[in-house]
Structure 1
Amino acid sequence: EKSEIEELRDKFRGLLKERDELKQILEIEENSKNLREIVYEKDAEISPINHGEFQEEIFQQMVQISNQREYEEFLKAYRLIGRTIFPTKSKRVEMKFETFYRAKYHESHYIILDQAKRGNQLRIFKHTLPHFIPLGEIENDYLNKDVDKFVNIVDDYLQAYVARREEVKLMRQKTGVTNLTSNNAYDLVEFSVDLEESIVDISLTYSNLRSSAPTDVVITQRFEDIENSVTRRKRLKKIEKYFLDMSLIKAFNELFVDL
């Protein structure tokens, strides 16, 4: 008899085979034709939807078609790849994207594809992606030309967003920094560190939303001359590279933990 480990290896090889077969389906043009065969010809607006409500709706659909234990196990294991694509009951196509940070699952995001009434082209029917991801631009550039690239680019944006967000959360939880500010996209992060005789202001800009690394870092040291009501500032360019080369919390720890 096969050992449990051998059985798991066989199952994993099977999943890899399934993954490779899926990639073959998602080839340029050919995959678009395959997807068009199962989309429902109905005119609809492209619209973002409530993430929680839609996730519950998708879960219920998956429960109805996942009564067999083998299929449930397949879905759980295939989740490791981070992406699944399958037809829905309404004959549309659903793309599911899992997000990760530090080997931990976070939220899932969904894109539902439909077929445009004219031109036989795929289009986005609904989605749960954050508004700052340029989904319309990605759709126009790749959806009907190279679906595999479309999926990869969307995944890059989602993984980078979750990584930036979780790094900010870790900073707030682990460092004691209370003045950290950021926006919804986490593409601008600012905070200050109080030293004995000065304050260090740190500003990180993430111009590339497909990356979790900042594109620009500015670190300035402030010296307050209270008697003369004067503030002197000094740019600390030599240490800015720490935040360009390391994660947010690691760079912070390297520079400030032992001060």
Structure 2
Amino acid sequence: MESDIEESLRKRPRKYLFSGDSSRKQFEHLAGRPYSIMGENFMQDGDLQLETTRTRFASLLKRHGDLTERLSRDSDKTIFERLLKDFEAAWASQTEEVCLDGEQWNDGLLATLREQVHMEAERKVMPRAANISACPRERITYKIGNKIICGLEGARIGIQYQTSFAGEPCDLYHCVLESKSFLEKMTVLEHTIPFFLPIREAEKGLLSSNAMKFIDYVGDLLQAYVDRREQVRLIKELYGNQIGELYHSLPYHMVEFVLDDCDCKVTVSLRYADLISVSPTKVSVLGWPMHQSKKNATNSALLGSHPSPIRLAYAEDALRTMSLPEAYAEIVLNLPQALDQMI
């Protein structure tokens, strides 16, 4: 019995030594492979995956933009054309056009217009004899800033918004309000306002309590959106060959682009406080010095030694105080001097 146990104990270490020796040999075999090559392959694979992700993301953004444009064009076109005919019919039958300024545009005037459209709707459903004997009603169209307000058929109130950019007329938008009676609150019946602007939130927050503020807010919302959009469109048109990448949100309240300069790569990030802001509130402009001019080897060495981006304060100030196209020109014009000062 004891001899059997001793024999077992003598054999067990040999078994573990064999296993450990085998594991050590396998580890040495793996460790003998060039680690730098493995690391290089890993980094190359990571870069490849990152580039694939960037390509797919860029493709997704393009498809999303194309789809958004097509949906907006197809769905809003029919409504736009129909509402435009309604407005033209109202203008053709108007008895007076009134331009309002400042305090002339108030809740009392809007209440009067509401009363008129409901009385007109009631008159049309009266018996023919009573309708003929009824006095004709005034049909007044009001112009307030970039807004035209008038009564439409069916006890509706229509607002047409005329946006502009750089003093030139831009897009037309429409919003139609209705209420079941003069005493009930108004609601948005239909509109041609882009779906990504918060028209329904404004309806819930403002229209039930103050219709005049709602109408003014929607006008400010549309004008600010068009202003931001046209600024981005203009820099693409003027400086498209200098811009490497450009991304923006649908309402253009977040904008990012890259400026590829021979001496420096500049990234610009703009954030707007809200959707009625025309000037950005959060601005970040960073420069990455790249390969430098052969004319100045000293400057080349200094700029090439920057491992992290450099903040371009002058560019951030320009973007806060100027329009985007003007600020872009300012950035490009003063970039060489700014780099020299950094050196």
Q: Does the TM-score normalized on the shorter chain lie above 0.5?
A: yes
Distance in 1 between residues matched to 2:92 and 2:179, nearest whole Å: 29
Counterpart secondary structure, 2:252? coil
CA offsets 1:221-242 (integer angstroms, 9 cap, x no match): 11358xx999531222343111
Larger radius of gyration: 2
Q: Residue type matched to 1:195 in 2?
A: D
Paired residues of 1:50 and 1:128 also in contact (CA < 8 A): no
Structural RMSD (CA): 3.4
Q: Does 1:239 align with 2:315?
A: yes
Paired residues of 1:224 and 1:230 also in contact (CA < 8 A): no
CA offsets 1:31-84 (integer angstroms, 9 cap, x no match): xxxxxxxxxxxxxxxxx993221221122223444447987999xx97683112
Q: Does 1:99 align with 2:163?
A: yes
TM-score, normalized by length of structure 1? 0.69
Q: Does 1:150 align with 2:175?
A: no
Give the number of aligned pairs: 210
Distance in 2 between residues matched to 1:195 and 1:214, nearest whole Å: 24
Q: Residue type matched to 2:167 in 1?
A: A
Distance in 2 between residues matched to 1:105 and 1:131, nearest whole Å: 22
Paired residues of 2:160 and 2:174 also in contact (CA < 8 A): yes
Counterparts in 2 of 1:116 and 1:136: CA distance versus 1, 3 Å: farther
| Among candidates 45, 60, 67, match of residue 85 of structure 2 | 60
Paired residues of 2:83 and 2:174 also in contact (CA < 8 A): no
Paired residues of 1:100 and 1:106 also in contact (CA < 8 A): yes
Richer in helix (by share): 2
Q: Does 1:87 align with 2:151?
A: yes
* Structure 2 equivalent of residue 51 of structure 1: 76
Consecutive unaligned residues in structure 1, runs of 5 or more: 1-47
Richer in strand (by share): 1
Q: Residue type matched to 1:251 in 2?
A: A
* Structure 1 equivalent of residue 205 of structure 2: 141
* Structure 2 equivalent of residue 25 of structure 1: none
TM-score, normalized by length of structure 2? 0.53
Range with bigger deviation, 125-134 or 77-86? 77-86
Counterparts in 2 of 1:68 and 1:120: CA distance versus 1, 3 Å: closer
CA offsets 1:129-150 (integer angstroms, 9 cap, x no match): 1223222222222213222211
Consecutive unaligned residues in structure 2, runs of 5 or more: 1-71, 100-140, 292-303, 337-343
Distance in 1 between residues matched to 2:81 and 2:194, nearest whole Å: 18
Paired residues of 1:116 and 1:123 also in contact (CA < 8 A): no
Range with bigger deviation, 192-201 or 244-253? 192-201
Map 1:1-259; keep pairs closer than 5 Å: 50-67=75-92, 81-115=145-179, 120-176=184-240, 177-178=242-243, 179-224=245-290, 231-257=307-333, 259=336
Paired residues of 2:174 and 2:192 also in contact (CA < 8 A): yes
Distance in 2 between residues matched to 1:80 and 1:150, nearest whole Å: 14
Deviation at 1:106, TM superposition (A): 1.1
Paired residues of 2:315 and 2:327 also in contact (CA < 8 A): no
Distance in 2 between residues matched to 1:184 and 1:205, nearest whole Å: 13
Counterparts in 2 of 1:127 and 1:61: CA distance versus 1, 3 Å: closer
Distance in 2 between residues matched to 1:72 and 1:86, nearest whole Å: 10
Distance in 1 between residues matched to 2:234 and 2:253, nearest whole Å: 16
Paired residues of 1:208 and 1:215 also in contact (CA < 8 A): no
Distance in 2 between residues matched to 1:122 and 1:80, nearest whole Å: 20
Aligned identity (percent) is: 26
Where relative contact order (Cα < 8 A, 6+ residues apart) is larger, the structure is: 1
Deviation at 1:154, TM superposition (A): 1.0
Distance in 2 between residues matched to 1:68 and 1:112, nearest whole Å: 18
Deviation at 1:122, TM superposition (A): 1.2
Counterpart secondary structure, 2:275? coil
Range with bigger deviation, 136-145 or 182-191? 136-145
